[in-house]
Amino acid sequence: MSRVAYVNGRYVRHAEAGISIDDRAFLFSDGIYEVIEVFDGVLFDERGHLDRLARSAAELRLKPPMGEAALKFVLREVVARNRVRFGHVYLQVTRGAARREHYFPAADTPPNLVVTARPHDPVAGDAKAHKGIAVITLPDIRWKRPDIKTVSLLPNALAKQQAKEAGAAEAWLVGADGFVTEGASSNAWIVDGEGRLITHPADSSILSGITRARILEIAAVKAIRVIERAFTVAETYAAREAFISGATMLVMPVVRVDGRAIGDGAPGPVALALRGAFHDPMTSVG
Ligand code: PDD
């Protein structure tokens, strides 16, 4: 079965889908995106993702391409046409196509909307979680608004590649002040010696993850204490556990950071419990 993409009102074969070479995201990274998990056919935490999309659009003064009901319909249609039961749906909105000039194009320039979906093997994800991943730390060289989910991901891509070449699955980005902000494509967490979850506050220096928000809800239900504060690389090395969160990897235990074992070098019980509860409606307070 060939993959199907939605591009500006049409469902087309993925391999034949295209966008203008004048697209503002191609020229200037002038676009935003979301990645939403499809869990047993359901768009998980769709509300949070659509709210964040609207926020990203407002921050960049980007016109929404369509109303929310229509967008929800398109997301479901792309999931259905690609027969995705477990996987992800990707959506990207750009400021449209216009002759290359830095300032915004004419107000009537239509935004470009692309939606794709792809399956993901949940069993493979769980197997990976039970092994845990390695992380390296790198300087956070991004711009000062990573709270906006833009497609401007070059520093993130460079960091991910460096991690891969070092045999790691993620890079934790460290600010000039020595504190870990987040992962190149995930939020970063540690568990301290008293079993408390520590993660960077959702200010302008990180992306406020929808998965992160869900973990905070689960922690509240399970009476796990949480401290939203920045932590250092040294604290990470000394942590009892570490993990990352994001729509593609959910809660993924981290067992090595910069080659040092975290805790006993195996996925920690807090991270695995959070992962185990992730899709459980009983742990949702909202
Ligand atoms: N990345 N921080 C960054 C820099 C991210 O790119 C992501 C997600 C997150 C976690 O956000 P959420 O929990 O809402 O997925 C944090 C997506 C999955 C990606 O770029 O593929």
pLDDT tens for residues 121-142?
Answer: 999 999 999 999 999 999 999 9
Res 40: pLDDT: 96
d(CA 77, CA 71): 10
Res 281: pLDDT: 74
How distant, in Å, are the alpha carbons of 131, 171, 181 from that of 91?
A: 30, 24, 25
Res 161: pLDDT: 98
DSSP code string of 249-282? TEEEEEEEETTEEPTTSS--HHHHHHHHHTT-GG
Q: From atom 6 of ligand 1, which residue's Cα is the shortest distance away?
A: 185
d(CA 120, CA 38): 9
Res 1: pLDDT: 72
Report how far ligand 1's centroid is from the alpha carbon of 48 (Å): 13
Angle at 129 between CA 153 and CA 239, to 5 degrees: 80
Residues 6 or more apart whose CB falls under 8 angstroms from that of 2 comprise 13, 14, 15
Kindly give the number of the ligand 1 atom that is closest to the alpha carbon of 206: 2
Report how far ligand 1's centroid is from the alpha carbon of 186 (Å): 5
Catalytic residue among 72, 131, 144, 149: 149
Res 35: pLDDT: 98
Res 66: pLDDT: 97
Report how far ligand 1's centroid is from the alpha carbon of 212 (Å): 10
Residues of the chain with pLDDT under 70: 284-286
Kindly give the number of the ligand 1 atom that is closest to the alpha carbon of 211: 13
* 187 and 65 Cβ atoms separated by less than 8 Å: no
Res 164: pLDDT: 98
Q: From atom 2 of ligand 1, which residue's Cα is the shortest distance away?
A: 186
Kindly give the number of the ligand 1 atom that is closest to the alpha carbon of 88: 18
Report how far ligand 1's centroid is from the alpha carbon of 187 (Å): 7
Asked about 222 being catalytic, the answer comes back as: no
d(CA 189, CA 262): 12
Report how far ligand 1's centroid is from the alpha carbon of 172 (Å): 13
For the chain, which domains are there?
Answer: 4-120 (3.30.470.10), 125-283 (3.20.10.10)
Q: From atom 4 of ligand 1, which residue's Cα is the shortest distance away?
A: 185
Residue to probe by mutation, ligand 1, list 116, 143, 187, 212, most atoms within 8 Å of CB? 187
Res 284: pLDDT: 62
